[in-house]
Structure 1
Amino acid sequence: MTSGPVKPTHSTTLANWSYRKAGTEKWTASKHGRPATQIHVDLLDNGEIPDPFLDENEKLVQWVADEEWEYQAEFTVSSEQLESGKKTDFVYEGLDTVATVYLNDKQILHSENMFHIGRVDITKDVKVGTNNVRIFFANALIRSRQLEKIHGKMRLFNGETSRVQLRKSQYHYGWDWGPLLMTSGPYRPVKIETYNYLVSDVFVNAKVSDDLKEVTVSIEGEIEGSKGEPGYLPLQFKVDIKSPSGEQVVNKTFDISVDKDGVSKNSLKIENPQLWYPANYGEQHLYHITVDVVSGSETIQSIEKDVGFRKVELIQRPLVDQEGTTFFFQVNNIPIYCAGGCWIPAHSFTTCLTNDDYKKWIKLMIDGHQNMVRIWGGGIYEEDIFYQECDRLGIMVWQDFMFACGQYPGYPEFLESVSKEAVDQLKRLRNYCSIVLYAGNNEDYQVAEAYPEIEYDPNDTTSDYLKTNFPARHIYEKMFPELVADYSPAVPYHPGSPWGGKTSSDPTIGDIHQWNVWHGNQEKYQDWYKLGGRFVSEFGMEALPDRKTVDQFVTKEHEKYPQSRTMDLHNKSDGFERRLALYVMENIKVEGMDIDNWIYATQLMQSECLAYAYRCWRRQWKGPGREYCAGALVWQVNDCWPVTSWAIVDFYYRPKLSYYAVKRESSPVWIGMYRNVNYLSEEDKKAAEEVPTFDYFKREHFEDIWGVNNTIHEKKVVLHVEVYEIESGKLVETLPPKPVTLKANQTTEIIQNLPVESKTHHVVYCRLVDADSNKVIARGGDWPQPLKYLSFPDRQVKVKVEDGQVRLSTNKPVKGVEITVKNKDLFLEDNGIDLFPGDDQTVIIRGLLSTDEVTIRHY
């Protein structure tokens, strides 16, 4: 490097891309002018393809993936930038996927991993004036099939078998909720950087003391231009740290001394730190950290980060009264019950998403009382804004590595590529305090268990897995844990999801994916309590999206019925017709098979199903030593296109009724209820299990009622219980108000074995009233099952529309009241609610006017 003065760095982000089909002459400009783009987006913007999300257009755009594409952009360099001693790099944050990069027609890079981040020295190839970058994107499908011919066909779930050979987002090959759209392009920014010295990465490596009274911070800067030159540089770090309230807590200057890897490390301590907590457990304190790189009196570079300090642990220890071990997250010494969901990419073409889109999604999660999101391993390592918002709002992130539902290879070039991928992404993500777990893969161990020819023995922990036909086990159990320990030491690692115990479905150890509702045995959802585990990281139920969404993607009126070809194309789950019909017909009385009635029936069924799951499993958070279930993450939060799926919010941000059911059941303080069936003799019970169709055996029904308090303080409440006869609306029993102290951060059993007469269809209605404010803080009804047998004659639900809210009242118990605002997309604070006489409810609707047209429907 130069011995002269160190000059400021200069960075240019390439934008205004043009594209062409490889082998043709004409270049077409990208219309949007964004620094990141994908070929389908550009073709759509320029009217060269129809919108693949509408009607059956997905079929009409498959030719795009059959072609090879090129992108080009120009940049200008001044003579000052290229003066002697300066270095110029081509910097890429993500190329999708089989990419060869040319600078002024000279090849400078070939990459076959869309998750790589890197820089290439182009100092000798760049010129003063205008320079041209051209990127050739080869056919990814052909390339993955070539690799498959070389390395052999692998087993998997979803997509085609060749997908596991190429480090590309696996959902691009099609999934059971997503279309087959093989993208290509510079999907993340490309930059040209000129510098003497450049800090390419700053890691705020923080360790919180066990007593939480001190945080040791190591400011670790990776210096480009210094590798191989350990020792002092003509540079300094000026570190300024401001507290969450804006007060300066650190202002220090360090001489930069680098090790053999070009990394400078400087330590400091912060006493009595303000820590970051998950939502509802404390504040989301973030320190603002500025690192100025200075040479003499000149600042050559400035890096700013908002960083939270927290201590996170994954606790797996023996339980009281049950076999196995716990699986819960502890943040700043507080055990956390995790209620949340699994996240897939929110678009098939992720370059279409803006920061505001991400903010809207994360806000929907936090408004839905979700405190954890699991980023699924078949998509992408998400955009920075995703993690920034999770930091800001207090949502914990479970981050899968990008491996999903497959038997992945382990040849040397693949391992080398995956290792770089992991290092690149760990370095990018390690400053986000919301990340509380890295998991090696999604369901790859289940694939190994599903196919007997795959050599997998979970008890074998010492063999060389690369010599087996399950070589990826080396990645998950040796490579990844070592890299996480090296690059993100404050975050726990878990080999896979699900993983633990004798098999991946062992409910007593590790996490499980519970798919015996919908998939598998297709169990009744009222029996979720039998299907729990220490941590349920996947489970779900399908439902159609909102009617407004259907109207957006089905443009032909004659196709707007549940069994149309278009509706079928927009449901990718195998056997969905039978499974969806099974769960609806078993549980819900369907008023008609038109699209509106079918949407309501599927959404009500989904909401009931998911409510049972959250309710049953959350009950098992019983306090220290009895953390029998520590989390439930629904599959899935979102969609990547308009579709019928397991999502609780559809592609256009419209919550399904299940979103509100999950929100209620995940409230910090809530009421739980479950109706038990007791047969009068063991003989009757056994006979009923053997011949359930002719269940005439005598039985009694008893209600269990418990309170949930996932705050760190005890809560004094009063429980009110009423029992109604459903058809007549008659109040048949009122229990005396019961004062209760809800224990902090656990469930509290309140009433067990309350007799309920089911034959006359009684519903139990409970309210929790805050003992201090006398306000209702939780309410819910437990109805006889299945709901399809219930009748609701002569109900009168009254609706009053006011600015910002809707008031509801009823003369009889009513189930599943759905509110719809015509011609407007407004967020409702609640929906799909149960109403009871004498307990009027007000639903807040942001932006609602008293003149808006509001309709309701109910069960």
Structure 2
Amino acid sequence: MSSASTLTLSGWRWRQYGKANEDWHQCAHDKPTTEIFTDLIDAKIIPDPFIDENERHVQWVGEADWEYACDFQYEPDSGHSRQDLVFAGLDTVATVLLNEEKEILNSTNMFHRHRVDVTGKLRHGLNTLRIVFKSALHYGRELERKHGSYRAFSGENSRAHVRKAQYHYGWDWGPLLMTCGPCGDIKLESYSSTLIDVFADARVSDDLSSASLNVRFEATLDQDVTTKVTVTAPDGNVFNTNAALSLAAKESRGSVSLEIHEPQLWYPVGHGPQVFYLVDVAIMNRDQIPLHHVKKLVGMRRLRLVQQPLKGESGTSFFFEVNNKPVYVSGSNWIPGHSFLTAMTAKDYALAVDRCVKANQNMLRIWGGGIYEHDALYEECDRRGVLVWQDFAFACAQYPCYPEFVATVKREAVDQVKRLRQYCSIVLYAGNNEDYQIAEMLNLTWDREDHSGDWTDTNFPARTLYETHLPVVVAEYAPAVPYHPSSPWGGDGTTDRTVGDIHQWNVWHGSQEKYQLWDKLVGRFVSEFGMLGFPAAKSIRRYVTDPAQRYPQSRVLDLHNKADGAERRLALYVLGNIRVNSLDLDSWIYATQLIQGECLSFAVRSCRRQWKGPGQEYCGGQLIWQINDCWPVSSWAIIDFYGDKKMAYFMTMRDSAPLALGISRSTPELKKLKSPPPQILAPPHDLAPKTYVCDIWAMNGTLQDTQAQIEIRLYDISTGDLREENSMGIQSLFSNRTTELMEDLSVDDQTAVQAIMRDAHDGHVIARASDWPQPLKYVSLCDAPDVTVSVLDDKLEIRSNVPVKGLVISVVPDDRDVEFEDNAVDVFPNDVYTIVARGLKKDDQVEVRYYGSEF
């Protein structure tokens, strides 16, 4: 008797299906997963779709059918009575044949996982697996003809019928590249008895003093077995079940429970350690010979989504509580990291989560138009303490709900929730992205008083998925994780700022409010908001190969900007706020990145300000749209496709820090308003003199009360003269909330305000914040500022004789591997700004750019 064995298939070859005498092409790599676009690029049959206008020239790929094949060896083992082929994912319309004559699987859902019994179907020695992938475009159009058209925003309407990553159809930040292929691992498992699925369900008591660990598993058995569960605590203590569990042949389920006193708990980053219990489940035959075992890392935490009344305001809170501690969320939305998912590596996912943590972010929302992400991403989020908001894979469409569609979606949900439920970082499942907003836009039937649970006969049939089928799956397979029917969702429609979450797009989309009004747009939880910015110049040089096309309005750069109306909206926000004396590419990149950073940083500060302590959690968090790109593009991302951090990355990083300062400037009249004033026709110039006031607050996201010195300085922007200095002395900053420091500080339209937080004991700078008159285009700048940058090993020191806005440092040439820990800073007189820059050498050349330096 031998233990189970696993072979991961690789060595794929491919060709276009249905072409007479088409030769097979061997993949240029030996990876277990692959897809047609990367293989066509490697074979030099198509140009790289990410470069220049090549996206236009490769659309035929998605209209064609393709096939893949690989060979593998199988030698029978007398101790193995069964063989299964296990498929982690097939993209998307796939027919699988074993040794040509045996059709063993048909799949039309990219998110399904398959286990196919091939016992008795394998040859001794060489076997061949062949997979035919039909065009998902053609398949979706056939379904559309059969079941009717359902409206989709972004991509063609037929996508609503196809269970494939929806962003493959094109989005307002992504290309139309309909790829296909064996995108998930395919394994041959040979065994006599095996564990199919193991779930260690940890429930922590209300007072955190104990935890129950219920280990449930599914198995395929051809003999009587005993099961042993061993749990090793983070400190090395070992827990064993009192007695081995016996299972008879053909039994398929079992469970074992343990009680753990004083459990060691897993916390989000910044709130405590990320520790794990190792759960080892083994099955043995009657002679105690191991047949199979599965190991799981389990983080134990008590989780709640808190929606309760608030002091002094209508509606309810929306925040996460982990281990009885409220957690303010400052994070981002995550789209797939590449248009071709098999190009991503575990290292790429680890780097992405590392950048998230270094940006002082503690949550990623896995957006519903992408995929249920690779295990490597969730593993890294578990390890680093980054919370995960997981959407189901629906986005921006009126989805159908006919019986075949319901069946495939229910299976998809079960497959994916069972896969993901072990990750302690997942704290919410949401039914979809913006589909209720689509219902509002299309005036679909959405009777909030109708709680029948079946709306399949309405023109909003997918409501039955979101409010009936999906919550049932989550309740059964991941009962400790809250379910939210949609994002956004709550209250009186999707724009209700007092209940649930909102997507706040009235800056950029919608009413296109001034970003200086962001403090009037805050909701209980803002799960999307953004501002578009161009990528770095060195990134643009990588995907725009013709220097003649490297100007902001070029045909190539417009192709690599999918946002509807982007040219007009960028002009609205850039030209309405800052001086632009040149439209050369470098100046436009800087201008759009500065506006993006100014907008997002004020939004983050405005949201964090509303985290005011118990009963006053008026905003529970904000998630920037978005942290990453799937191809080289001008988008809302704060890190471009090639990994270059935009100014907004650093600006929001500082505003999301555990200890941070916030400043807002307003007129007394505007400050009183709870919402943006109506946009009405008005004279082009308001001649009445204005007075301005600033509020200043401190944000303490730590779990300890802190003593800090606070200094406030007011400077004349054009001369650098210090107009006023206010040392507030030692201030008590209470833990896990915002503390208001100063209200109605009077300023004029030529004064910049700097606030500094210092350690109460040794005086070192903990945080800085600044505020400038708005719009910046009216501000009188110094004609010849004295800005100096001292380049040292692994750091820079920056000094200025006048206030300087948005100073960006880059190394020349820009191919040097230097990691800036900060950038895009405001520098003030009498304050040396030090930036750590790992890899920098004191003889390196740097380029300095700041607002006004390009005039």
TM range (shorter): over 0.9
**Matched residue SS, 2:456:** helix
Check if 1:40 corresponds to 2:27. no
1:113-512 aligned at under 5 Å gives the runs 113-225=109-221, 234-250=224-240, 254-257=244-247, 262-295=252-285, 296-452=287-443, 454-462=444-452, 464-512=454-502
Q: Which amino acid aligns with 2:41?
A: L
Deviations 1:775-815 (CA, angstroms, capped at 9, x unpaired): 11110111000111222322111111111111111111111
Quote the residue 1:718 is aligned against. 709
Alpha-carbon distance, 1:201 to partner: 1.2
Give the whole-Å Cα distance in 2 for the aligned partners of 1:34 and 1:335. 43
Check if 1:88 corresponds to 2:77. no
**Matched residue SS, 1:275:** coil
Quote the residue 2:848 is aligned against. 856
**Matched residue SS, 1:288:** strand
Deviations 1:191-223 (CA, angstroms, capped at 9, x unpaired): 111111110111011100101111100111110
Check if 1:847 corresponds to 2:847. no
Quote the residue 1:56 is aligned against. 53
Quote the residue 1:16 is aligned against. 11
**Matched residue SS, 1:475:** helix
Tell me, yes or no, if the aligned pair for 1:542 and 1:580 is still in contact at 8 Å: yes
Q: Which amino acid aligns with 2:701?
A: N
Q: Which amino acid aligns with 1:283?
A: P
Check if 1:830 corresponds to 2:830. no
Give the whole-Å Cα distance in 2 for the aligned partners of 1:330 and 1:14. 43
Quote the residue 1:594 is aligned against. 584
Give the whole-Å Cα distance in 1 for the aligned partners of 2:538 and 2:693. 41
Give the whole-Å Cα distance in 1 for the aligned partners of 2:677 and 2:522. 23
**Matched residue SS, 1:567:** helix
Q: Which amino acid aligns with 1:209?
A: S
Give the whole-Å Cα distance in 2 for the aligned partners of 1:807 and 1:243. 46
**Matched residue SS, 1:239:** strand
Tell me, yes or no, if the aligned pair for 1:680 and 1:698 is still in contact at 8 Å: no
Quote the residue 1:640 is aligned against. 630
Give the whole-Å Cα distance in 2 for the aligned partners of 1:598 and 1:694. 27
Give the whole-Å Cα distance in 1 for the aligned partners of 2:240 and 2:701. 35
Check if 1:652 corresponds to 2:642. yes
Alpha-carbon distance, 1:173 to partner: 0.4
Tell me, yes or no, if the aligned pair for 2:808 and 2:825 is still in contact at 8 Å: yes
Give the whole-Å Cα distance in 1 for the aligned partners of 2:679 and 2:510. 23
Deviations 1:398-454 (CA, angstroms, capped at 9, x unpaired): 0000000011111111111111100110111111000000000000000111112x2
Tell me, yes or no, if the aligned pair for 1:237 and 1:253 is still in contact at 8 Å: no
Deviations 1:261-286 (CA, angstroms, capped at 9, x unpaired): 82210000111111111111111112
Tell me, yes or no, if the aligned pair for 1:481 and 1:493 is still in contact at 8 Å: yes
Identify which range, 591-600 or 20-29, moves more after superposition: 20-29
The 1:157–1:832 alpha-carbon spacing in structure 2 relative to 1, beyond 3 Å, is: same
Alpha-carbon distance, 1:713 to partner: 1.1
Alpha-carbon distance, 1:238 to partner: 2.8
**Matched residue SS, 1:90:** strand
The 1:256–1:398 alpha-carbon spacing in structure 2 relative to 1, beyond 3 Å, is: farther
1:678-697 aligned at under 5 Å gives the runs 678=668, 691=682, 693-697=684-688
| TM-score, reference length from structure 1 | 0.96
Give the whole-Å Cα distance in 2 for the aligned partners of 1:692 and 1:234. 86
Quote the residue 2:106 is aligned against. 110
Give the whole-Å Cα distance in 2 for the aligned partners of 1:111 and 1:816. 52
Give the whole-Å Cα distance in 1 for the aligned partners of 2:368 and 2:616. 30
Quote the residue 1:98 is aligned against. 93
Give the whole-Å Cα distance in 1 for the aligned partners of 2:321 and 2:633. 36
**Matched residue SS, 1:132:** strand
**Matched residue SS, 1:329:** strand
Identify which range, 138-147 or 246-255, moves more after superposition: 246-255
Tell me, yes or no, if the aligned pair for 1:679 and 1:697 is still in contact at 8 Å: no
Gaps of 5+ in 1: 227-232
Quote the residue 2:807 is aligned against. 817
Quote the residue 2:26 is aligned against. 29
Alpha-carbon distance, 1:770 to partner: 1.3
Give the whole-Å Cα distance in 2 for the aligned partners of 1:256 and 1:696. 86
Check if 1:770 corresponds to 2:770. no
Tell me, yes or no, if the aligned pair for 1:544 and 1:602 is still in contact at 8 Å: yes
**Matched residue SS, 1:587:** coil
Give the whole-Å Cα distance in 1 for the aligned partners of 2:669 and 2:456. 55
Give the whole-Å Cα distance in 2 for the aligned partners of 1:623 and 1:762. 32
The 1:335–1:735 alpha-carbon spacing in structure 2 relative to 1, beyond 3 Å, is: same
Tell me, yes or no, if the aligned pair for 1:607 and 1:658 is still in contact at 8 Å: yes
| TM-score, reference length from structure 2 | 0.96
Check if 1:737 corresponds to 2:728. yes
**Matched residue SS, 1:693:** coil
The 1:260–1:764 alpha-carbon spacing in structure 2 relative to 1, beyond 3 Å, is: farther
Alpha-carbon distance, 1:692 to partner: 5.8
The 1:154–1:261 alpha-carbon spacing in structure 2 relative to 1, beyond 3 Å, is: farther
Give the whole-Å Cα distance in 2 for the aligned partners of 1:139 and 1:812. 61
Tell me, yes or no, if the aligned pair for 1:679 and 1:698 is still in contact at 8 Å: no
Q: What value does the CA root-mean-square deviation take over the aligned residues?
A: 1.8
Alpha-carbon distance, 1:85 to partner: 6.7
Alpha-carbon distance, 1:690 to partner: 5.9
Q: Which amino acid aligns with 1:701?
A: Y
Identity of aligned residues (%): 49
Give the whole-Å Cα distance in 1 for the aligned partners of 2:754 and 2:249. 67
Check if 1:611 corresponds to 2:601. yes
Give the whole-Å Cα distance in 1 for the aligned partners of 2:205 and 2:244. 24
Quote the residue 2:617 is aligned against. 627
Tell me, yes or no, if the aligned pair for 1:673 and 1:782 is still in contact at 8 Å: yes
Q: Which amino acid aligns with 1:21?
A: Q
Deviations 1:168-196 (CA, angstroms, capped at 9, x unpaired): 00000000000000010000111111111
Tell me, yes or no, if the aligned pair for 2:654 and 2:660 is still in contact at 8 Å: yes
Tell me, yes or no, if the aligned pair for 2:334 and 2:366 is still in contact at 8 Å: yes
Give the whole-Å Cα distance in 2 for the aligned partners of 1:495 and 1:40. 35
Q: Which amino acid aligns with 2:653?
A: K
Give the whole-Å Cα distance in 2 for the aligned partners of 1:108 and 1:288. 36
Identify which range, 541-550 or 71-80, moves more after superposition: 71-80
Q: Which amino acid aligns with 2:599?
A: C
The 1:635–1:304 alpha-carbon spacing in structure 2 relative to 1, beyond 3 Å, is: same
Check if 1:519 corresponds to 2:509. yes
Deviations 1:535-575 (CA, angstroms, capped at 9, x unpaired): 00001000000111001001111011101100000000111
Q: Which amino acid aligns with 1:103?
A: L
Alpha-carbon distance, 1:10 to partner: 1.4
Tell me, yes or no, if the aligned pair for 2:453 and 2:468 is still in contact at 8 Å: no
Quote the residue 1:230 is aligned against. none
Alpha-carbon distance, 1:371 to partner: 0.3
Alpha-carbon distance, 1:678 to partner: 2.2
